[in-house]
Structure 1
């Protein structure tokens, strides 16, 4: 019998900066480890502002500097996601609070901060959208690389 895939959903406010970066980074790391058949990976937004759009161009640009591609289309988290995914990662305490408020009673997903896995102990992944400096997106990318690597290693 085939084993069930592990599943992870990355969440941020609009699903255009932090969560699509984390999704693309984790997907890339899983692929490099040869574990694509063992994981289901996605990202989504708390809000509806950008649904149907693409990730922020600054997020796409900084991912490309690491050879990471994304064709992500923004979507909002659904009630079904709370039972479909093993872990739902928020990027900050506000995300976690919103996720808890939105959770249906039958939720089985663990809600965690991605920053809990940061070996540099930077718990919060700050939203780079405002002030919107490219360097802020690079900081998010570097945090996501560290956190996703540590999380993946913890799952091996």
Structure 2
């Protein structure tokens, strides 16, 4: 009997900048630890703006410059995600509020803030680079890279991987 996989979901607003990048970084980090087969990793948005779309080309370009390959089609967060995922990680406090609106009755699933693992900006929002300047994407990458390092270590310890 196979061990059940740990399911991790990253959530932002549109699912084309921050959350697919977080998904890609998390995948890379668990691959480097030899744990890729223990995880199901996905991302989504709380809005319906970009369903079916590829990530923002600036995000793809920035990810590649940092050695991370993205392969994701945008989708919207659903009530089912509450049941399907062990860890739901939101990029900012407004995403947390959007997710909470869909919380099923009786669910005690904790919604985590991405930067709850970022000592350089504890519990701050991951800024949305969409309307910003090009180097905003690298700033977001660095924030996510730090935060996800902490998240991976947390999950590995908590799940005994």
TM-score range, shorter chain: over 0.9
Which 4+ stretches in 1 moved above 4 angstroms? none
SS at match of 2:4: coil
**Structure-2 residue corresponding to 1:129:** 130
Change beyond 3 A, Cα 1:106–1:41: farther
How many residue pairs end up in the alignment? 155
SS at match of 2:96: helix
Using the alignment, how far apart are the partners of 2:106 and 2:50 within structure 1? 27
**Is the CA contact 1:24–1:68 (under 8 Å) kept in the aligned structure 2?**
yes
Per-residue deviation, residues 84-126 of structure 1 (Å, max 9, x unmatched): 0011111111000111012222535320101000121342101
**Structure-2 residue corresponding to 1:8:** 8
SS at match of 1:144: helix
1:26 aligns to 2:54 (yes or no) = no
Consecutive unaligned residues in structure 1, runs of 5 or more: none
**Structure-1 residue corresponding to 2:74:** 74
Per-residue deviation, residues 45-83 of structure 1 (Å, max 9, x unmatched): 101111011100110011001111111110011111101
CA RMSD of aligned residues (A): 1.3
Change beyond 3 A, Cα 1:22–1:114: same
Change beyond 3 A, Cα 1:155–1:64: same
Using the alignment, how far apart are the partners of 2:108 and 2:6 within structure 1? 13
Q: Calculate the TM-score normalised by the size of structure 2.
A: 0.91
